[in-house]
Amino acid sequence: MSPPSDIGAPDIWAIVPIKELDGAKQRLASLLTPAQRRALIEVMMGEVLEAVAGAKRLAGILVVTLDPQATALGRRLGARIVIDGAREGHTGSVTAGLRLLAGEGRGGMMTVPADIPAATADEFDAVLAAHRPGPSFTISPAHDDLGSNAVICSPPDSVPLRFGDNSYFPHLDAARRSGIEPTILRQPGIAMDIDHPVDLAAFLRLPQSAGTRTRAFLEEIGVPGMLMEKGL
């Protein structure tokens, strides 16, 4: 991870929740085998963590996980590993991380999922640069305006968070109920999360996916042809 920049919001830590990889991405089961799904999340996880570690405006990274491979990768990239909340779903994992950061008096937190492999360090830095002094809330939504793919809160516990298939607009409402007008910044790589076969098709059409290890893996196992057969 690059040293924190002297511009932008200070002392913001990333929280990346990663559930145990076995059995991951069940919603891709109609297209991919269990082994292929596990390999896919391994590749995506690696690209996301490397992009987060490359962001210049972050003070540090928390990886909330019990998975051995995610733990090993996080440690190689200099992340702190947190196990509290790791089996409490995405919201529980993020909540455990932000409570830890709030208890330490950190200035803020940015949380991102492990399945946005087209996201770049520059995109994360752009969202961090748009973040205002606290109390503040910044969000970069999913491509379908349903998910919340990057969320920044200053202080870390300034807005109650609840992730799921339809969290973007509820998060905007939660920020406003907390007396904070949200900052919204869309980024194409951050927006492209992968949960369903149609997301794989959209990812492969995304110019920013070119050159990613995730795209190379999908092409290697024949996903473009599989999607074509399904009319995607």
Write down all domains in the chain, each with its CATH number in brackets: 12-226 (3.90.550.10)
Q: What is the mean pLDDT of the chain?
A: 94
Q: What is the largest CA-CA distance in the chain?
A: 53
| Residue 219 Cα distances to 27, 37, 41, 209, 211, angstroms | 19, 14, 15, 12, 12
User: 38-70 pLDDT, tens per residue?
Assistant: 999 999 999 999 999 999 999 999 999 999 999
Length of the chain: 232
| Residue 139 Cα distances to 33, 36, 120, 220, angstroms | 33, 31, 16, 34
- The model's pTM is 0.93
User: 129-158 pLDDT, tens per residue?
Assistant: 999 999 999 999 999 999 999 999 999 999
Cα angle 195, 197, 201 (rounded to 5 degrees) comes to: 110
The angle that helices 34-54 and 121-130 make with each other, rounded to 10 degrees, is: 50
Do residues 200 and 169 make contact, with C-beta atoms less than 8 angstroms apart? no
